[in-house]
Structure formats: structure tokens, C-alpha cells
Amino acid sequence: MKVFQGIEELERAVGTHLGYSDWHRITQQQIDAFAEATGDHQWIHVDPVRAAQSPFGGTIAHGYLTLSLVPMLVWQVYRVDGVRMGVNYGANKLRFPAPVPVDSEVRAGVELLSLVPGGGGHQLTAKVTVEVAGAAKPACVVETVSVLVP
């Protein structure tokens, strides 16, 4: 994990790739729990027998489940000391280029795009790319926008 000692040090990292999270296995139990929490019970996610006959050959994680893992994965890549808190402000350019098959592993790479004063602190935009182990395309690409409050 990369640890930045305040906003000034973080500013010097704008335009750089900060690293990768650990790999995280996506289980059917996680997929089912997400389906229950969100009410999205589409068969491609929750019916292994039917999904086995699909082009994916099995169940796949919801795109928004993959997106919901971004904070956990990013926290493994970097943190900023010397701020009171960081809050999610939004997201830009969200795409799900490839599926996340059940029992696959994902990790996130983080690139710091910008850091500008605003929103009661500093607005940080980072490009987060969620990869699936062994896959040619990423599962999720999103620009996250956060506010770091001094």
C-alpha cells in the first residue's frame, strides 16, 4: 500500500499509476447476497444450472457488484494521512467491458488523474480498472471522484 503524507505529497503523484490491490475471489455466495440486497435476481447471476447453458458457461457477478468492490480494492492500493476523511462524490465514464465469472479473482489498478481544490476540500479523480485474472479485457473501468476533507 502506498501511503501519502498529506495533500501536497498526493499532488505530486497526479498522472501516475499508484499500484494494484490484492486479488479478491468472487463467490456465488457474494453474488446471491448482492442479488438479495438489490432485488436483482436475473438468472444469469443466481441460477447456476440455467447460466451453465449461457454463453458465459456459468453465473456472472452483477456489474454493480463489481463496482461496489471498488472502495475495498482501492483502500488496498493507497491511503492519504493528514486528512480528516474522504467521501465519495461520484463517478465518471463507468463501463463494464467484460463479465466476472463466479469463482474468478479480481483486482483493481489505480491511476491518479487529478486533484483540485473543491467541495470543501480537494476533489480527487482516479481511474480504477478492475481486472479479472486471466481475462483479456477488464471487468470494470470507472473514474471515481472523491473529496478529501482536511
DSSP string, 52-77: TTSTTSS-B--HHHHHHTHHHHHHTT
Return the pLDDT at 131: 99
Return the pLDDT at 118: 84
**Strand 78-81 to 2-5 pairing:** parallel
Reported as a single tens digit per residue, the pLDDT across 46-85 is 999 999 999 999 999 999 999 999 999 999 999 999 999 9
Return the pLDDT at 58: 99
Q: What is the mean pLDDT of residues 8-25?
A: 99
CATH 3.80.10.10 holds for 2-25+60-149:
no
Return the pLDDT at 119: 76
Residue 142, pLDDT > 80, answer yes
